[in-house]
Structure 1
Amino acid sequence: MTETEQSVSTDPNIGQNLDVVSGVQKDKNEAVNKQLQQELKWAKDKQKMLNVKEVKLLQMREIAEQGNQLTSLDQKELNRLNDRLDKLSA
């Protein structure tokens, strides 16, 4: 038993396969983590853009409601509302 302990403790190859597998798994985990971080950034950017669009759509709806409330629009008022809508859509 003592001889087995000594041969195992002095064999430099013991555990090498485990170290390699562990290193490969760590690399895979880091790659997946990097991919997930990128996807999270994209999702946050998309959410910001959706928030901007939502605000603009609400403003457009308000303009449309203002136009509906007026019984008659003169050309100047119509142009003003259309200009505001054009700026928001841009």
Structure 2
Amino acid sequence: MLGHKALQIAEDGVVLERLADGEKVFVNAETIILALGVQPRKEVVKAFKDAFAQVHIIGDANRGGKILEATQEAYGRAFVFES
């Protein structure tokens, strides 16, 4: 969600802050995908791996690249996600 800042990931969704007015918004979600830029941020990846039992690292979080390659990889990997 453009124009929002993630504040907290909860068991049933994510708490966001709308940047335009600072209002907190809760979005129900079973799966949360973060798009945080084009450079791999290994400290963020490590924090997620430490915090969650099931983490799939794809796209620029795995290695820098272009949106086409990241989108294709995400589409291909999405079919292996299990509950």
| Structure with the largest fraction of helix | 1
TM tier, smaller? under 0.3
- TM-score w.r.t. structure 2 length? 0.23
Larger Rg: 1
- TM-score w.r.t. structure 1 length? 0.22
| Structure with the largest fraction of strand | 2
